[in-house]
Each structure stands twice: as structure tokens, then as C-alpha cells.
Chain A
Amino acid sequence: MNRMIEVTSDWYLTLSAILFSIGFLGMMFRKNALIMFMCIELMLNAVNLTFITASKHLGLIDGQIAVFFVLVVAAAEVVVGLAIIVSIFKKQESASVDMLSSAKG
């Protein structure tokens, strides 16, 4: 125990990378459109964590403002996405993306 272990920005960036990887994994693996949306939320939150870490690391407030914009975009995306899921579900009684071949060109 010679040196003190310090929590640096690198730790937060590593956490953010792990969170993004898990979200990406879920996005690829799951077929339920709802779960895929949750995984997108995970990835967006990983990016938010990176922004806030950078904001602290550089001593600038702009990173935290960027988080607000990401937050608003995520909320808008969820509203529209869930409305689409509900309207698809009304038609075919399933939220699985495999059935969605009707949008094919």
C-alpha cells in the first residue's frame, strides 16, 4: 500500500465503454423492439457519462449542456418510437422486429 489509488477520469471512461458495449450487445441480440429501445437508452447514457467526465476533466461546462441536448433527443426518440411500436402492435399483435418486413422497399 505504498501509493494511494485515485479515481481518475480513466475509470469513468472505462465504465462508459463497458456500458456502451453491453448496450450494443443487447441491440444485436434481442428481437423485441421495446428491449432494443432500452438498449439504445443504455448506449445514449454511456455517451452522456463520457460527456460529463470530459466536462469535469477539462473544467468546461459545455459537456453538461451537451448532455441536455442528448437527453431531449432521447426523449423525443422514445416518444416517436413507442408510438410506432404501439401502432404496429395494433396491426400484428407482436413487437418482434422479424415481422417488420412490410417496410421493405
Chain B
Amino acid sequence: MTEILLFAIPALLIILGALIVVFAKNPVHNAMGLVLTLTSLAIVYITLNATFVAMVQMLVYAGAVMTLFLFVIMMIGVDKPEQSRKEIKGQTFLISGTLILLVSIIVYIGLENGLNWDLIFPESENAIEGTPSLLASSMFTSWVFPFEVISILLIVATTSALALAYEFKKNESND
């Protein structure tokens, strides 16, 4: 019973937060909905034995990324509704169709035999705990090349953000 509650309560909060992100009108409310989703996801990660990832999720997503989002929202103004209401032709129809398709696939698979996705691989007996030492021993041995590539990506992102924010004063003609 505890197990089910530990899944169900964060799951409901995740979906509630996601719906707030999509449907709220005020951008600050959207950001708060995203915080709710990310925090509840961290709880789900803990129930899945990924404790270190849960901590990083709180620090990086709920902390750093959300601060960045709120900073930009405050910078460009909160009380600006979406000005343009012009719709692409057949937009509502296409979106509804895609959504109905996605939901019906989920419901079909869910009802097929009692929420059993019939996974090809059987559940492993080997229970792992996502501790920092276990993660590090894998990341710095077999995953060390992706790790280096990702560090290059971070440098490129930082530099490009700098280049975008910097105002080039001399050549005003190339607007």
C-alpha cells in the first residue's frame, strides 16, 4: 500500500504540474507548475533507487534552470499575454488528432492486459543503488568519451550565450 501511495501521489502531482505548464496564462504560474513537476519527479527517482540523480535533479533543474527561466520571465515582463491569436490552418484539428492518437495508444496498451506492457526483458534480480561512487566508476571508465564531449558542449553553450548577449557597438549597419 505504501508503495502504491509513493507512486500515486507524486504521479498525480507530476501530471497536475504539467497541465499547469501547458494551460496557465501567467508565465510565472507556468514556471511554478514546472517546479512542481520537477520536484515530484525527484521523489519518483528516489523510489526508483536513483538517489544521486534525484539530488542532481533538484539542484540543476529545480534550482538552476528554473532560476534562469524566472529571471528571463521577469526580464521580459510578466503581464504580456500572447499577442498573436492567429492560427495556422487546421491547427486545432491536427493537434486534437495527434493527442487523441497518443492517448488512445497509451490507453490501449494499458487496457490490453492490466497495465502490462509485456516488456521483452524480464525484470532484473540485481538491484542497483544509484550512489555517487557507482555512477562515477562507470562514468569515468566506459563513459569517459561522452563525458569529454559533453564538456565541450557546455563550453560552446557558454560562449554562444556570451556572443548573443554582447552588444556589438561598432557595426550598427548590419541589422
Contacts and interface: CB of A to CB of B under 8 A. Distances in A.
Interface of A: 5-15, 17-19, 21-26, 28-32, 34-35, 37-39, 41-42, 45, 48-49, 52-53, 55-62, 64-65, 67-69, 71-80, 82-87, 89, 94-96, 98-99
A11 B44 CA distance: 11
A29 B22 CA distance: 8
B172 interface: no
A59 B115 contact: no
17 contacts: A10-B116, A11-B11, A12-B48, A19-B15, A21-B99, A22-B18, A26-B18, A34-B72, A34-B73, A34-B76, A52-B53, A58-B124, A59-B124, A64-B52, A65-B143, A71-B57, A80-B157
Given A15-B11, A21-B99, A86-B75, A80 B160 contact: yes
Given A11-B115, A31-B82, A49 B44 contact: yes
Interface of B: 3-4, 6-7, 11, 14-15, 18-19, 21-22, 27, 30-31, 34, 37-38, 41, 44-45, 48-50, 52-53, 56-57, 60-61, 64-65, 68-69, 72-73, 75-76, 80, 82-84, 86, 91, 94-95, 98-99, 102-103, 105-106, 109-110, 115-117, 119, 121, 123-128, 130, 134-135, 138-139, 143, 146, 150, 153-154, 156-158, 160-161, 164-165
Contacts of A15: 11, 14-15, 44
Nearest to A21: B102
Given A7-B4, A48-B41, A76-B153, 7 more contacts: A15-B44, A22-B15, A39-B22, A52-B53, A79-B158, A86-B165, A94-B80
A92 B116 CA distance: 51
Contacts of A74: 61, 65
Given A15-B11, A59-B128, A72-B150, A96 B82 contact: yes
Given A62-B138, A65-B138, A12 B44 contact: yes
Contacts of B91: 28
Nearest to B131: A61
